[in-house]
Amino acid sequence: MTIRASIHHQNLDKIFYPESVAIVGANKVSGTVPNDILMSILHANFNGVVFPVSPREKFIAGVKAYKYVIDIEDPVDLAILVFPSSVCHMALEQCGKKGIKAVIIISAGFKEVGGAGIDREKRLIEIANKYDMSFIGPNCLGVINTDPRTRLNASFARKMPEEGSIGFLSQSGALCTAVLDYAQAKHIGFSKFISFGNKADISEIDLLYYLAEDEKTKVILLYLEEVSKGKQLMLAARDIIQRTGKPILVLKSGRTSEGASAAASHTGSLAGRDDICDAAFEQSGIIRCYDIEEMFNRAIALTYQPAPRSNKVAIITNAGGPGVLTTDAAIMQGLSLASFNETTSQLLKKHLPATANTKNPIDVIGDARADRYNAALSAVFNDPDVAGVFVILTPQSMTEIEDIAKEITVVSEQFDKPIYTSFMGESDVAPGIDILQRNKIPHYILPESMADAFATVWQFEQIKQKEWFHETFVDNVLFDKAHMVFTNVNAKNQTYITEDLSSEILQAYRFPLPQMKMIQSQQEALNVAETIGYPMVMKVVSNDIIHKSDVHGVTTDIRSPEEVRLAFQTMKFLMEQEAPNAALKGMLLVQQVEQGIEAILGIKHDPSFGHVMMFGLGGIFVEIYKDVCFKVLPITEQEAWEMVSSIKAAPLLKGARGTNPKDLAAIVDCMLKLNQLVIDFPQIKELDINPLIIHNEGKGCHVADAKIFINLQSELQSKKSKEKQ
């Protein structure tokens, strides 16, 4: 933990559980942020003392006001700054002098507006550092703590939400108010509700750790517009899930390039590539959600009900069609229908009419009243094969909507198995839904959402059980040899490493490369060809040519000395024509490897998550289907195997339609060597092995072409010093 993180850890309790709060910049004007925040605190029955601080008012809402925060005689735990941004630093400085350690800065006009706003935000950070203060914001809605011990609504949200077990963190303040309104309609409660704005000081990572320790929070939801410290977020999430078993659901906007651009202008942030974000979240156990409804559908399942012990569900419905829809949705989500034992079958037959379907999905028939639902529920809950129950209701003239909802509530309390409901419709079923929601029975408009929520909880159970391995190290490599190449390239101020030198690096790390040699003349080519043997490939090598095939710089399938001569002369001529300014280092003669499946294995450096490995099959698979997978480095051997299996074209590698299975172990071996290479040489900015030719099982694979781009050491050092600042 860094020093600042440790300070935040100490100060965060003062933000959520203060005994005294100063609203600095308060006024009497109803409908303004300073006044509304003061009123929110007063109306929420805050269990503490409130001090309005206003340059001009003596009293606000009957509460004595102070000109300056330093005028308050009593100690103050939390200050909420609502002054315009131009004077926030003055208020914060006084808070520091007063000894206040926890601050929420609501005011906007900082990093998000650029220019002078960036400097104003830096000034706040400097003051906070000087006094060991921690602040949330600026540019935020504020925070809410529903814990009855405190009941703090330090925000300008319209209402105090119900008490609950969901901790909600949001980078967007406006989204918070929409979420509060949405949640109120569904009786969804919160433990803590936090808008963290520009996260200039306290970040989402500090808040995640706080909620992890918060006994009132069972499930953590996070809305992010940018991931600025991806690696730290991953480590925090994995640590929290492992230690506390609390799920973390993240809604990350900016999925499209247009959306990312909007997010950047909105918060002054830089968005990373979305599929890398997906991979990183999956690697760290974060449940990624794609809209608010999906997030809350899953959150209520995780919060309200016990986790299922398996993926087997029983479906109870009073209508055939919805029963089929639910079955389809369940199967599509990887769930399966439970098989009832004899006792359950007998009970169902005994209590349901002859026309009812007593097999799963159970159809209690359209005229079913509460007693039939009760009988079916009790029977299936007792069945050992049933891990959870889906209850569907459609409103017929005789359907006892409210009674059935009450019955579900009563029966579910008797069993330690989850129950999810879908009362289909809107107007007629509304009173029943209200009963379910008030009693914390998850309700879903669509069976698909119900199945998704169950599957999410079940998958999270698997994540919790997952054994997290440490990264796999490869030690039989020639570090010094590779180091020498990197040093020489760096000394020449080159950022592109040509194929001959890239191959030297990869050879040092024991990658499977075909025989190859650089030549300078036609005669040398002929001599070397005898050593390497036919068929072979000839490639031009130049620091100025990155894409060799664009300048006809590659000739394959050379099978005789005559073809060597022809290739040499032709390529030299074409080079002079098509790239007259390129300095030719020579030609690379490479043994032509046997045919196999072509794959791409690469590394890129992501600004949020650091080095990321990419794997996919070549040709149309990558170009048209974009069938690639990513993992954030470092990876474990287990994750390398997951990469190989997770591409859609994996069946081709495993041997589909009578073809031989390919050497998957050789791919994994290359991945782990690549992982090690990047750990040892973090200056690698981009590395492409394209193609990696994969042979049949037991025959290995070959690197047929590779290129590496690096950051110069001087650039890295200047970047590091900027980060330190």
Partner 1 sequence: MTSTETTERVKKVVAQVLKIDASEIGDDSNFIFDLGADSMQSIQLVAAFEEEFDIEMDEDKALEVQNIADASSFIQSYLS
Round to whole Å and give the CA distance between 241 and 460.
10
Nearer to partner 1, 35 or 676 (CB): 35
In the bound complex, what is the minimum distance in angstroms from residue 272's beta carbon to partner 1? 36
**Distance from C-alpha of 126 to C-alpha of 85, rounded to nearest angstrom:** 15
Which one, 51 or 340, has the nearer CB to partner 1?
Answer: 51
Stretch that binds partner 1, among 9-17, 53-61, 130-138, 535-543 (CB under 8 A): 53-61
Q: How far is the CB of 87 from partner 1 (least distance, A)?
A: 4
Region binding partner 1 by CB under 8 A among candidate stretches 80-88, 248-256, 295-303, 350-358: 80-88
Q: CA 295 to CA 288: how far, in whole Å? A: 8
Rounded least distance, CB 56 to partner 1, Å: 4
Q: Is 217 helix (H, G, I), strand (E, B) or coil?
A: coil
Binding of partner 1 at residue 91 (CB under 8 A)?
Answer: yes
Closer of 53 and 540 to partner 1 (Cβ): 53
Q: In this structure, how many other beta carbons lie within 10 angstroms of the beta carbon of residue 44?
A: 19
How many Å is the maximal CA-CA distance in the chain? Answer: 100
Exactly one of 3, 30, 31, 56 binds partner 1 (CB under 8 A); that residue is 56
Integer Cα distance of 172 and 72 in angstroms: 32
Least distance between partner 1 and beta carbon 85 (Å): 10
By CB under 8 A, tell whether 110 contacts partner 1: no
Q: Which is nearer to partner 1, 55 or 334 (CB)?
A: 55
| Angstrom distance (rounded) from CA 104 to CA 139 | 10
Closest approach of Cβ 216 to partner 1, in Å? Answer: 37
- Under rule CB under 8 A, residue 665 binds partner 1: no
Is the CB of 45 or the CB of 86 nearer to partner 1?
86
- Closer residue to partner 1 in complex, CB, 103/617: 103
Kindly state whether residue 27 participates in binding partner 1, applying the rule CB under 8 A: yes
Shortest Cβ 24–partner 1 spacing (Å):
10
Of residues 398-457, those binding partner 1 (CB under 8 A): none
Amino acid in the structure at residue 646? S
Show contacts with partner 1 in window 369-408 (CB under 8 A): none
- Region binding partner 1 by CB under 8 A among candidate stretches 78-86, 376-384, 399-407, 532-540: 78-86
CB 357 within 8 A of CB 363: yes
**Residue 556 DSSP symbol:** E
Is residue 35 a contact residue for partner 1 (CB under 8 A)? no
Question: Does 55 participate in binding partner 1 (rule CB under 8 A)?
Answer: yes
Q: Which is nearer to partner 1, 86 or 343 (CB)?
A: 86
The number of residues that bind partner 1 (CB under 8 A) is 12
Positive or negative: CA dihedral 193, 197, 199, 205: positive
Give yes or no for residue 107 binding partner 1 (CB under 8 A).
no
CA-to-CA dists, residue 539 to 154, 693, 709, angstroms: 67, 17, 19
Residue 377: both structure tokens together? 């529920």
Is 114 a binder of partner 1 (CB under 8 A)? no
| Neighbour-count burial of 293, counting CB atoms closer than 10 A to its CB (0-12 exposed, 13-18 middle, 19+ buried) | middle
Q: How far is the CB of 129 from partner 1 (least distance, A)?
A: 21
**Residue from 13, 19, 57, 627 binding partner 1 (CB under 8 A):** 57
Token duo for residue 140: 């935020």
The residue range among 81-89, 280-288, 561-569, 700-708 that interacts with partner 1, by the rule CB under 8 A, is 81-89
Closest distance to partner 1 from the beta carbon of 405 (Å): 51
Binding of residue 86 to partner 1 (CB under 8 A): yes
Neighbours of 67 (CB within 10 A): 12
* Smaller CB separation from partner 1, 33 or 677: 33
Report DSSP letters for 588-611, one per residue: EEEEPPPP-EEEEEEEEEETTTEE
542 near 499, Cβ under 8 Å? no
293 interacts with partner 1 by CB under 8 A: no
Residue 87 found at the interface with partner 1 (CB under 8 A): yes
DSSP-based three-state secondary structure for 695: coil
Applying CB under 8 A, does 71 fall inside the site for partner 1? Answer: no
SS3 136: strand
The residue (of 117 and 432) whose beta carbon lies closer to partner 1 is 117
For position 198 contacting partner 1 by CB under 8 A, the verdict is: no
- For partner 1, the closer of residues 84 and 384 by Cβ is 84
Structure tokens at 613: 């490995």
| Residue 472 three-state SS | coil
Query: Which residue shows structure tokens 């990321």?
Result: 612
Q: Which of 16, 66, 83, 381 is the binder for partner 1 (CB under 8 A)?
A: 83
Name the one range near partner 1 by CB under 8 A: 84-92, 309-317, 361-369, 376-384: 84-92
For partner 1, the closer CB: 68 or 468: 68
Using rule CB under 8 A, residue 570 touches partner 1: no
Q: What number of other Cβ atoms are within 10 A of residue 71's Cβ?
A: 12
Does residue 106 bind partner 1 (CB under 8 A)?
no
Nearest-approach distance from CB 32 to partner 1, in angstroms: 8
What single string gives the DSSP state of each residue in 527-541? HHHHHH-SSEEEEEE
State which of residues 40, 54, 170, 333 lies at the interface with partner 1 (CB under 8 A): 54
Q: Where are the alpha helices (DSSP H) in 46-171?
A: 85-98, 116-130
Q: How far is CA 333 from CA 135, 189, 238, 363, in A?
A: 42, 27, 24, 22
**CB of 87 or CB of 474, closer to partner 1:** 87
Binding flag, residue 61, partner 1 (CB under 8 A): no
Residue from 43, 71, 84, 416 binding partner 1 (CB under 8 A): 84
Please provide residue 603's backbone torsions phi and psi, each rounded to the nearest 5 degrees: -130, 140
- Please, which residue, 97 or 719, has the CB nearer to partner 1? 97
Contacts of 270 (CB under 8 A, 6+ apart): 226, 228, 264, 607, 608
Beta-sheet strand order (sheet of 142-145): 152-155, 142-145, 190-195, 163-170, 219-224, 248-252, 287-289
Quick check: 217 binds partner 1 (CB under 8 A)?
no
Q: How far is the CB of 605 from partner 1 (least distance, A)?
A: 41
Could you give the CA distance from residue 267 to residue 254 in angstroms, rounded to a whole number?
A: 11
Three-state SS string over 632-671 comes to ECCCCHHHHHHHHHHCCCHHHHHCCCCCCCECHHHHHHHH
The least CB distance from residue 29 to partner 1, in Å, is 8
Half-sphere exposure of 431 (CA within 13 A, CB side): 9
Q: Please say which residue, 96 or 691, places its beta carbon nearer to partner 1.
A: 96
Q: Are 557 and 592 in contact, with CB atoms under 8 Å apart?
A: yes
385-419 CB burial, b ≥16 within 10 A, e <16: bbbbbbbbbbbeeebbbebbbbbbbebbeebebbb
Identity at 384, one-letter amino acid code: P
Does residue 495 come out as left (phi exceeding 0), alpha (psi in the -120 to 50 range) or beta?
alpha
Residue 507 structure tokens: 């050879």
Considering the complex, what minimum distance in angstroms separates the CB of residue 30 from partner 1?
14
Q: Give least dist CB 138 to partner 1, A.
A: 16
**Residue number with CB closer to partner 1 (94 or 555):** 94
Nearest to partner 1 of 57, 504 (CB atom): 57
Bridge partners, 701 (sequence order):
694
**Using CB under 8 A as the criterion, which residues of the chain lie in contact with partner 1 when the complex forms?**
27, 29, 54-57, 83-84, 86-87, 90-91
